[in-house]
Amino acid sequence: MAARKQNLFHTLHEILTRDLSRQEFDKLFGNDTRGMYEFYAGNMKSIEGEKRPVHRAVKFLWNFFVAFLMKLTPARRFLYAIAVVFFFLALFQGKVESSLYAFVIINFLLALEVADKLMTKDELAVAREIQEGLQPQTARSASGYDLIAHSEPAREIGGDYHDILSLPSGETLVVVGDVSGKGISSALYVIKAQTALHLFVQECSDIKTLLEKLNQHICSEVKKNYFLTLAMAKLFPSGDVELCRAGHLPALLWKKESQTTEWLKPNGMAIGLMACANGTGKQEFERALEVQSLNMQSGDLLVFYSDGITEAIDRNGKEYGQDRLARFFQTFATEPLETLKHRLLNDVALYRNGIELRDDLTFVLIRKT
């Protein structure tokens, strides 16, 4: 009998503690809890007028509970109410069978919700594979350059965009972008922007014109609460580079000869940020957009990235930042691109120390051969 109890305890212990780690608890009480609050908060009634702390707390909890209930389907909401009734019957009348009924109903509802989540997760995994297949992930060579790219979504699928396109005239086009927001909607807008850009490239290779065309397309096709920041570089085999920045983060250039880093910040506003219907937004976008020219010598390194790197936080809430990124490349820029890629990912992961990404992480490294 004692052996059977011991085996039962061992089995339960194995089930409950399998894959359990500190990171899981950090995720549960960090990103998961924050995400849950954001999910329900949009449907909660405001408590702005309530000044009394206790009443304010009670109203908040009640509004949160109602928001949770309204997210359940009507049938599940009804079953949940029955479970609550059984729970209070057991609590105040001491009816053991009522507590059993409440336990069964709650676990039945929990099983349904978990099944829904896992089915959605499987579908998102397929969507993520498709998204990854549309964007370059491996090292490749272009005329006069070696390139490597990496993208890591903060959720199952992300809103970052990067691309490496070979132009008919022999140049290479490198693109890194970030759609506002995260998740499925942002990922769909990424595909829309990527598809449009691939079509425009067949007609034109001037980067300023490409961004103007893309802005016009996004303004007419995408909802006004979405916009896209984009950095685009045209690489000539000679080492000449043309760079445009539509509201995106500055690019980083490391020069081998002087062993120094330089931030490249041509002017430009985000794509789709201003309405183009009356022509004013279109004109302002075109006036703001600036092309910067530079020349890369053999061994020079050009870095494009998204804010998933610079806005990664440590356990004190401090961001990784552009200064640390510049110091990183100042130290390791001469290493092979594959090694450099993994070293950068490790450095960001070490800095985060288990804290999950707040935003999608993307970068492209370009070295002149």
Q: What is the CATH number of the domain that holds 263?
A: 3.60.40.10
- Mean pLDDT score of the chain: 87
> What is the SS3 assignment for 133?
helix
309 and 287 in a common domain: yes
130: confidence class by pLDDT, cuts 50, 70, 90 = low
Q: Which residue has the higher pLDDT, 223 or 341?
A: 341
Rounded to 10°, the helix 207-221/183-201 angle is 130
What pLDDT sits at residue 149?
A: 93
Residue 24 belongs to a domain: no
Per-residue pLDDT at 5 exceeds 70: no
Which of 41-50, 147-156, 166-175, 235-244 is the least confident region? 41-50
73 and 201 in a common domain: no
156 and 108 in a common domain: no
197 and 321 in a common domain: yes
351 and 299 in a common domain: yes
Highest mean pLDDT of the ranges 4-13, 26-35, 93-102: 93-102
Query: Among residues 340, 337, 315, 310, which one has the least CA distance to residue 325?
Result: 310
Interatomic CA distance for residues 95 and 89, integer angstroms: 7
The residue-averaged pLDDT of 174-182 equals: 87
Q: Which residue has the higher pLDDT, 281 or 91?
A: 91
The residue-averaged pLDDT of 204-231 equals: 86
What DSSP character marks residue 342?
H
Which of 184-188, 206-210, 307-311 is the least confident region? 184-188
What pLDDT sits at residue 282?
A: 79
Q: Which residue has the higher pLDDT, 145 or 354?
A: 145
Residue 94 belongs to a domain: yes
Interatomic CA distance for residues 223 and 227, integer angstroms: 9
What pLDDT sits at residue 190?
A: 84
Interatomic CA distance for residues 278 and 273, integer angstroms: 14
Structurally, the chain folds into a number of domains equal to 2
Residue 217 belongs to a domain: yes
CB atoms closer than 10 angstroms to residue 212: 20
Residue 13 belongs to a domain: no
252 and 126 in a common domain: no
The number of helix segments (H) and strand segments (E) in the chain equals 12, 11
Q: Which residue has the higher pLDDT, 31 or 301?
A: 301
> What is the SS3 assignment for 309?
helix
137: confidence class by pLDDT, cuts 50, 70, 90 = low
113 and 151 in a common domain: no
149 and 201 in a common domain: yes
The last residue of one of the domains, among 134, 167, 192, is 134
195 and 99 in a common domain: no
Q: How much of the chain, in percent, has pLDDT values that exceed 70?
A: 91
What pLDDT sits at residue 186?
A: 78
Can you give the pTM of this predicted structure? Answer: 0.74
196 and 94 in a common domain: no
The residue-averaged pLDDT of 241-261 equals: 96
What pLDDT sits at residue 270?
A: 92
Amino acid, single-letter form, for residue 130: I
The residue-averaged pLDDT of 133-149 equals: 80
- Helix (H), strand (E) at residue 197: helix 183-201
Residues 30, 356 contacting (CB under 8 angstroms)? yes
Residues 174, 163 contacting (CB under 8 angstroms)? yes
205 and 130 in a common domain: no
> What is the SS3 assignment for 301?
strand
**Cα separations in angstroms, 38 against 42, 44, 182, 225:** 7, 10, 13, 18
> What is the SS3 assignment for 63?
helix
Residue 117 belongs to a domain: yes
Residue 40 belongs to a domain: no
Q: Which residue has the higher pLDDT, 15 or 261?
A: 261
Beta partners for residue 240, in sequence order: 295
193 and 165 in a common domain: yes
Query: Among residues 85, 73, 70, which one has the least CA distance to residue 113?
Result: 73
Q: Is the dihedral of CA 279, 225, 364, 140 positive or negative?
A: negative
Q: Which residue has the higher pLDDT, 297 or 217?
A: 297
Domain that holds residue 348: 138-368
The residue-averaged pLDDT of 201-218 equals: 91
262: confidence class by pLDDT, cuts 50, 70, 90 = very high
Residue 37, φ and ψ in degrees, nearest 5:
-60, -45
Per-residue pLDDT at 277 exceeds 60: no
What pLDDT sits at residue 334?
A: 96
What pLDDT sits at residue 117?
A: 81
The last residue of one of the domains, among 134, 160, 192, is 134
Residue 63 belongs to a domain: yes
What pLDDT sits at residue 275?
A: 62
What pLDDT sits at residue 131?
A: 64
Per-residue pLDDT at 250 exceeds 90: yes
> What is the SS3 assignment for 7?
helix
Q: Which residue has the higher pLDDT, 95 or 261?
A: 261
Q: Is the dihedral of CA 107, 110, 116, 122 positive or negative?
A: negative
Residue 45 belongs to a domain: no
The last residue of one of the domains, among 83, 111, 134, is 134
